[in-house]
Amino acid sequence: MVRDNLEIFSARRALEALRSGVPNGDAVSILGCDQSEVVSGFEKILNDTANGTRTDSSDTGMLVEGGFGSGKSHLLQHLKHLALSQNFVCSSVAISKETPLFSLDKVFKSVVDQGLIPGRTGQLIEEVSHGLNPETEAYARFFVWANSEESGISRMFPASLIVHERTSDFELKSEIEAFWSGNTIALKKIRDGLRDMNQLQNYSFSRPRANEFGLQRLRFVSELIRAAGYNGWVILLDEIELIAGYSLLQRGRSYSELARWLGYVVDEDYPGLVTVGTITDDFRGYVFEEKGDRDYIGTRLRSRGDDLLASRAETGMRILNESRLVLREPTLETAQATVDRLRQIHSTAHEWDAPHIEAQIGGATFQRRMRSQVRRAINEWDLIRLYPDARPDTEDTDFHHTYTEDLTLEQETGEELEGSIESQVSSQQEESKEN
């Protein structure tokens, strides 16, 4: 009886998630995923990452393209469960106004906040830090790397690491973990910790420049995760197409960041980092054809003296145009198989025998929209269960994104830039006082 109740509860959770168009773990577990090409490619990347056999950028991540309602979010849920089952930390983040792709600091903060750890339920950095064991080879390699010039990170990070390892002050440990997560920490806190353990003379450091902090944190935390015994860190970036609403310069920076996340930036190596991003199928046509980004962004950035940024932005646009995997459209057979599995879920959830419903493949537009198949079937069963004589007939209309530029985001970015400069000046003043 307990098992039956658990099955009913799981089926209802899955049904409600599918009804709202936001699949959860129950829905993915029950329905599975029929995008075998993407899944097998992702599994290869995980294996290569875990075994240390990655050879090029194609081993670092992938970009997935599909129409609205074609199953991109469902796919990402499936990939998340695969990653967790293979001992990877996993973070799933939707690009939005609060998490703009062009801001590495904000995306980093979000992926840390949304991070999931295999077998654990706590906050990412806190759980990973608790899993550190200085006696292991993984930690020893991490410690040597963090203290080397090749790491490319400020000495502030290895200094905070040794303080975190040796201090018995739990409040200080917590502050250091918050610093690794993206928050600020007073340099005096770290230096006082070093002084208490007679290590201050071994660590001379200053605060990194504001525009370097996010990159250094990403490097440090991706290695920290592996030092704690995990195979790596999987980042799932959903709804990348929303960058179409950015200004031209923000789109240029976003393309550059996309190249970084997918491992195409020269001299930036993150051995344990895996990134999967999704875009809609009309996104490239809009930004490349209608807005002309491939013709204008590189030229505009170079006119501002940003040659490096221009080159990386062009790399990001090339990835979008040439290196994406297109989701396979459902056939009548696969659509019917999905509807039949949904019938079992609905029958279990409401303890009845849901009637057979034929999958409908109308035209090319409707064929891409598996979400329409799912919601149509669920809504019709809901009506028939409550009104047995009902004969519902669902109409479906197409959906198109409206990629309108968000001018408020441009204004907020200007404010953030000013704030970062003020923060940097303040940090320099703080260092002068402490020194």
The strand ranges marked E within 320-366 are 324-326
CB neighbours of 83 closer than 8 A, spacing ≥ 6? 46, 90, 234, 274
For residues 210 and 421, the answer to whether their CB atoms sit within 8 Å is yes
270 located within any domain: yes
Instruction: Single out the residue in 275, 300, 326 at which a domain terminates.
Output: 326
Residue 255 sits in the same domain as residue 301:
yes
Residue 219 sits in the same domain as residue 236:
no
Residue 144 sits in the same domain as residue 212:
yes
For residues 305 and 263, the answer to whether their CB atoms sit within 8 Å is no
- Domain with 420, as residue range(s), is 406-435
62 located within any domain: yes
Instruction: Single out the residue in 294, 326, 358 at which a domain terminates.
Output: 326
Residue 138 sits in the same domain as residue 165:
yes
397 located within any domain: no
424 located within any domain: yes
Instruction: Single out the residue in 277, 294, 326 at which a domain terminates.
Output: 326
435 residues of the chain, pLDDT tens digit each:
344 788 888 888 888 888 877 777 777 777 778 888 999 999 999 999 999 888 776 678 999 998 876 778 889 999 999 999 999 999 999 998 889 999 999 999 999 999 999 988 889 999 999 999 999 999 999 999 999 999 999 999 999 999 999 999 999 999 999 999 999 999 999 999 999 999 999 999 999 988 889 999 999 999 999 999 999 999 999 999 999 999 999 999 999 999 999 999 888 888 899 999 999 989 999 999 999 999 999 999 999 999 999 999 999 999 999 989 998 877 778 888 888 888 988 998 888 999 998 887 654 444 446 777 788 888 889 899 989 888 877 766 665 566 666 666 665 555 344 333 334 434 444 555 554
Residue 318 sits in the same domain as residue 235:
yes
Residue 197 sits in the same domain as residue 168:
yes
Residue 112 sits in the same domain as residue 249:
yes
16 located within any domain: no
Residue 135 sits in the same domain as residue 89:
no
Count Cβ neighbours within 10 Å for each residue of 206-228 and write b for 16 or more, e otherwise: ebbebeebbbbbbbbbbbbbbbb
Helix (H, G, I), strand (E, B) or coil at 305: coil
Nearest to 218 by CA among 125, 131, 315, 150: 125
Residue 44 sits in the same domain as residue 71:
yes
Residue 150 sits in the same domain as residue 208:
yes
20 located within any domain: no
Residue 41 sits in the same domain as residue 111:
yes
How many domains does one find in the chain?
A: 3
CATH number of the CATH domain containing 285: 3.40.50
359 located within any domain: no
Residue 77 sits in the same domain as residue 133:
no
